């Protein structure tokens, strides 16, 4: 079985995304997660760029990871030396080869560029280190010249050549043709690096693999220069699930890794992001939900499951919801409703949806209780007595929650990046680590400094059960606490049934 190796450049090209700058502690944390994920090569950075970058790359190189560690260097000995001094396994060198970049940036003859590339490879190999060579802007370079320079570095002892679509100009058809041509003349492995300027980075990477590429360069969540790079999750699933080839990626950690990068960059993925997005395995449409509840593959690809990538399947309530999913939600929460009551609930949910309202699980439960005339407040697992939050300049936001949990008095405390985060963590501590908050959203209902805020939260347990609730008020911290406690109460009830 053919295996395609994964070269992750989140820490180098990913960090070149405007607005992102990883401190060393973040780089080390990400490198460890990439190693856990099963990445074959981690491009840890550009050691010659800054002293901090050098130290981060060197520390990652000495972590004892299973993944090999690579560093980027310009084709000058000072850069190469600095990269080798960072203890990397591989030095990745590059030089422009397209007509436009040669004329405006390199300003050397084509023969001189080939000579420089060969000398760079030979210099690196003389130090006993692996070498990757990139012909920058390869997809705008004449194919015959690409063959010439790649053959020259192959003869010089390069370990792998990279074909970068530097400005994201390629299409799947042109990429397939280019890699096919290069594979005819090269014996060393061929790698590809695709940018997403035209939204084709994943498709181009996949086309390159179809044409015989041995390695792909990717980033977590597709972060990177301009419109970003090919997303690791998308590429790996295409390679494995669609093409039937092997990688060393442990796909069950894909969502976990994506969320880590979201948290460390502050860049939230759109919910409709393939594979790792919040909605990747969520269903609202009544027709879809009914089918999925009976057999998941009726309205999911089948070749990739939520469990395969570390995700959870969600049946979401909205104006497109049908009777089956609403009935299932109520049954899971312990409510047996008649057909007449169910019809009224479904009609009300659709009415609210038509008005642009976001319908939560708690809204459906409340409708059921009102229509059935049985409000079960006495079944609340958590009764909040007091919540105190301390925050301010040079004070770590800290929350203390005093509550009754199943008849037992509990006081919990937690710190967070802000008062809301601290409060939510303290609430989660009330019922243990098995409950986690997977989604948090806040909207202002009114304007002004005393604006009312509406908070939506989703909590999930270790078995994948989730519940969505809302809270509202002028105090956003207390609105958040109320929303989480409401959600946790019903989730705990569902767990006990």
Nearest to 480 by CA among 450, 437, 445, 432: 437
- What local confidence, expressed as pLDDT, does residue 135 receive? 97
Contacts with 392 (C-beta within 8 Å, 6 or more apart), sequence order: none
Closest to 262 measured CA to CA, from 26, 12, 4: 26
Count Cβ atoms below 10 Å from residue 247 Cβ, excluding itself.
Answer: 20
Query: Hey, is 428 helix, strand or coil?
Result: helix
Hey, which bits of 40-129 come out as E strands?
Answer: 41-45, 68-74, 90-96
Helices 476-495 and 361-372: crossing angle, nearest 10°? 70
What pTM does this model have?
A: 0.78
Q: Do 419 and 408 form a contact (C-beta atoms < 8 A)?
A: no
Residue 299 confidence (pLDDT): 55
d(CA 204, CA 210): 10
Axis crossing angle, helix 201-210 with helix 172-185, rounded to the nearest 10: 40
CB of 327 within 8 A of CB of 340? no
pLDDT tens, 316-328?
A: 666 677 777 788 7
* 73 and 93 Cβ atoms separated by less than 8 Å: yes
Contact 207, 176 (CB under 8 A): yes
Per-residue pLDDT tens, the chain, 497 aa: give them: 799 999 999 999 999 999 999 999 999 999 999 999 999 999 999 999 999 999 999 999 999 999 999 999 999 999 999 999 999 999 999 999 999 999 999 889 999 999 999 999 999 999 999 999 999 999 999 999 999 999 999 999 999 999 999 999 999 999 999 999 999 999 999 999 999 999 999 999 999 999 999 999 999 999 999 999 999 999 999 999 999 999 999 999 999 999 999 999 989 899 899 999 887 777 555 555 455 555 666 656 777 888 889 877 666 666 677 777 788 777 777 777 888 888 888 887 788 778 777 777 777 777 777 666 654 544 667 888 888 988 887 788 899 999 888 888 889 998 988 888 888 788 888 876 567 777 787 776 555 655 567 788 888 877 777 788 877 777 878 888 888 888 888 777 766 65
Distance, in Å, from the CA atom of 426 to the CA atom of 430, rounded to the nearest integer, reads 7
Give the per-residue pLDDT at 379: 61
- What pLDDT is stored for residue 375 in this prediction? 46
Tell me, letter by letter, the H, E, C secondary structure of 143-188. HHHHHHHHHHHHHCCCCEEEEEECCCCCCHHHHHHHHHHHHHHCCC
Asked if 406 and 388 touch (Cβ cutoff 8 Å), the reply is no
Q: Is-contact 366 349, C-beta < 8 A?
A: no
From the list 100, 119, 101, the residue with the least C-alpha distance to 157 is 119
Question: What ranges make up the beta strands (E) of 289-407?
Answer: 314-315, 382-392, 395-405
Tokens 């937690």 found at: 414
Residue 55's nearest CA partner among 68, 65, 66, 44 is: 44
Q: Cα 425 to the chain's mean position, in Å?
A: 22
Query: What span, in angstroms and rounded, lies between the C-alpha atoms of 322 and 346?
Result: 7
Parts of the chain belonging to CATH 3.30.160.270: 378-495
What CATH architecture does domain 378-495 belong to? 2-Layer Sandwich (3.30)
Residue among 179, 203, 215, 260 nearest 39 (CA): 215
Q: Do 270 and 276 form a contact (C-beta atoms < 8 A)?
A: no
Task: Give one word for 87, left, alpha or beta, with left for phi > 0 and alpha for psi -120 to 50.
Answer: left
Predicted local confidence at residue 361, as pLDDT: 76
Q: Would you tell me the crossing angle of helices 172-185 and 143-155 to the nearest 10 degrees?
A: 40
Count Cβ atoms below 10 Å from residue 122 Cβ, excluding itself: 14
Q: Where in the chain is the domain with CATH 3.20.20.70?
A: 5-249
Whether domain 5-249 has CATH 3.20.20.70: yes
Instruction: Give the model confidence (pLDDT) of 283-333 as tens digits.
Output: 555 555 455 555 666 656 777 888 889 877 666 666 677 777 788 777 777
Alpha-carbon distance of 75 to 293, in angstroms, equals 57
């Amino acid at each position: 079985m053919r295996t395609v190796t994964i070269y992750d450049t989140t820490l180098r090209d990913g960090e070149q995304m405007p607005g992102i700058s990883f401190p060393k502690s973040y780089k080390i944390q990400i490198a460890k997660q990439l190693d856990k994920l099963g990445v074959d090569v981690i491009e840890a950075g550009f050691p010659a760029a800054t002293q901090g970058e050098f130290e981060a790359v060197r520390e990652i190189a000495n972590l004892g990871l299973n993944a090999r560690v690579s560093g980027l260097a310009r084709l000058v000995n000072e850069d190469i030396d600095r990269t080798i001094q960072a203890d990397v396994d591989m030095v990745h060198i590059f030089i422009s080869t397209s007509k436009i970049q040669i004329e405006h940036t390199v300003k050397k003859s084509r023969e001189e560029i080939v000579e420089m590339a060969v000398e760079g490879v030979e210099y690196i190999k003389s130090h006993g280190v692996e070498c990757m060579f990139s012909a920058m802007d390869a997809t705008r370079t004449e194919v015959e010249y690409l063959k010439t320079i790649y053959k020259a570095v192959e003869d010089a002892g390069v370990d792998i050549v990279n074909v970068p679509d530097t400005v994201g100009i390629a299409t799947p058809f042109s990429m397939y043709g280019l890699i096919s041509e290069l594979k005819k003349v090269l014996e060393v492995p061929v790698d590809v690096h695709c940018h997403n300027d035209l939204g084709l980075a994943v498709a181009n990477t996949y086309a390159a693999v179809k044409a015989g590429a041995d390695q792909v360069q990717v980033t977590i969540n597709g972060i990177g220069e301009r419109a970003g790079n090919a997303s690791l999750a998308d590429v790996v699933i295409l390679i494995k699930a669609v093409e039937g080839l092997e990688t060393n990626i442990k796909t069950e950690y894909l969502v976990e890794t994506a969320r880590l990068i979201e948290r460390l960059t502050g860049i939230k993925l759109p919910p409709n992001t393939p594979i790792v997005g919040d909605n990747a395995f969520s269903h609202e449409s009544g027709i879809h939900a009914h089918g999925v509840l009976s057999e998941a593959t009726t309205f999911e690809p089948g070749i990739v499951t939520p469990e395969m990538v570390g995700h959870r399947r969600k049946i979401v309530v909205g104006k497109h919801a049908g009777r089956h999913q609403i009935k299932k939600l109520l049954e899971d929460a312990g409510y047996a409703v008649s057909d007449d009551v169910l019809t009224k609930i479904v009609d009300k949910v659709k009415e609210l949806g038509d008005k642009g309202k976001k319908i939560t699980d708690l809204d459906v439960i409340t409708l059921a209780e009102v229509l059935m005339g049985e409000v079960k407040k006495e079944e609340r697992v958590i009764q909040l007595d007091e919540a105190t939050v301390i925050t301010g300049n040079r004070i770590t936001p800290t929350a203390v929650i005093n509550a009754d949990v199943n008849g037992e008095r509990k006081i919990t405390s937690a710190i967070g990046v802000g008062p809301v985060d601290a409060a939510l963590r303290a609430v989660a501590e009330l019922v243990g680590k098995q409950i986690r908050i997977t989604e948090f959203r806040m909207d202002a209902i009114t304007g002004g400094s005393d604006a009312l805020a509406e908070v939506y939260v989703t909590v999930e347990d270790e078995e994948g059960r989730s519940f969505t609730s809302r809270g509202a008020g002028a105090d956003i911290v207390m609105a958040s606490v109320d929303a989480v406690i409401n959600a946790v109460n019903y989730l705990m009830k569902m767990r006990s049934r």
